[in-house]
A and B are shown apart, each in its own frame.
Chain A
Amino acid sequence: EPEVTQTPSHQVTQMGQEVILRCVPISNHLYFYWYRQILGQKVEFLVSFYNNEISEKSEIFDDQFSVERPDGSNFTLKIRSTKLEDSAMYFCASWRGGNTEAFFGQGTRLTVV
């Protein structure tokens, strides 16, 4: 069964450092997403991406965040200068479109120290 894969599974970074979280969506999917879940809280939408541009973003997705699809397979989330409160599980998802389901990756646990 096709799956969304995320790397790394766990990333520890110093406050103020830049991090890049990587995702490989399912190959024939067209829409890509990032969600995050702070420990003990709800899963929250960050951003959606279609046709090489952001289609929707939440208030959380401020100037510290950016997304990119640098080649035909990867989809990345960059946090420019990490804060302690960025510590969370980050999920990537992809969707083919139409009346189909969205698939989530297994997540990257980001710990900012």
Chain B
Amino acid sequence: GENVEQHPSTLSVQEGDSAVIKCTYSDSASNYFPWYKQELGKGPQLIIDIRSNVGEKKDQRIAVTLNKTAKHFSLHITETQPEDSAVYFCAASKGNAGNMLTFGGGTRLMVKP
């Protein structure tokens, strides 16, 4: 089955700096890659997703890149703010949001003011 690895497990940045979180996946049939943000006491919330027919997607300060050949995808957050502090999860599935998601292990991002 699919296996998703995520690095780093913790990331501490200064406010205003950029943060990059990387994930690799094993199943070349996976074609949907969402990123979730989880704040304390809340469930995972989708922040951005990408499908395998595109290499990059951007939404304001957040961007995701996908390299299908290397089977890795990354989350980029620019101009980080303290409210970006949370746990971020990458995931992969074959199909779309409704198919079984395989999650990475999570990255705890801390943005220091």
Contacts and interface: CB of A to CB of B under 8 A. Distances in A.
Bound together: yes
Interface of A: 4, 6, 31, 35, 41-45, 48, 56, 58, 91, 93, 95, 97-107
A45 B42 contact: no
A43 B98 contact: no
Contact of A106 (B41, B46, B102, B106): B41
B96 A106 contact: no
Interface string B94-105: 001110111111
A65 to B, nearest CB: 15
A40 to B, nearest CB: 9
B45 interface: yes
Nearest to A3: B43
Contacts of B91: 43
A35 to B, nearest CB: 8
A14 B41 CA distance: 24
Nearest to A56: B100
Contacts, number: 52
Given A31-B98, A99-B96, A101-B49, A42 B103 contact: yes
A97 B97 CA distance: 8
B102 A100 contact: no
A102 B97 contact: yes
B41 A45 contact: no
B55 interface: no
A42 B41 contact: no
A31 B93 CA distance: 15
B98 A97 contact: yes
Nearest to B39: A106
B43 A42 contact: no
Nearest to A30: B98
Given A43-B44, A104-B43, 14 more contacts: A4-B43, A42-B105, A42-B106, A43-B89, A44-B103, A45-B102, A48-B98, A91-B44, A99-B96, A100-B97, A101-B49, A106-B41, A106-B42, A106-B43
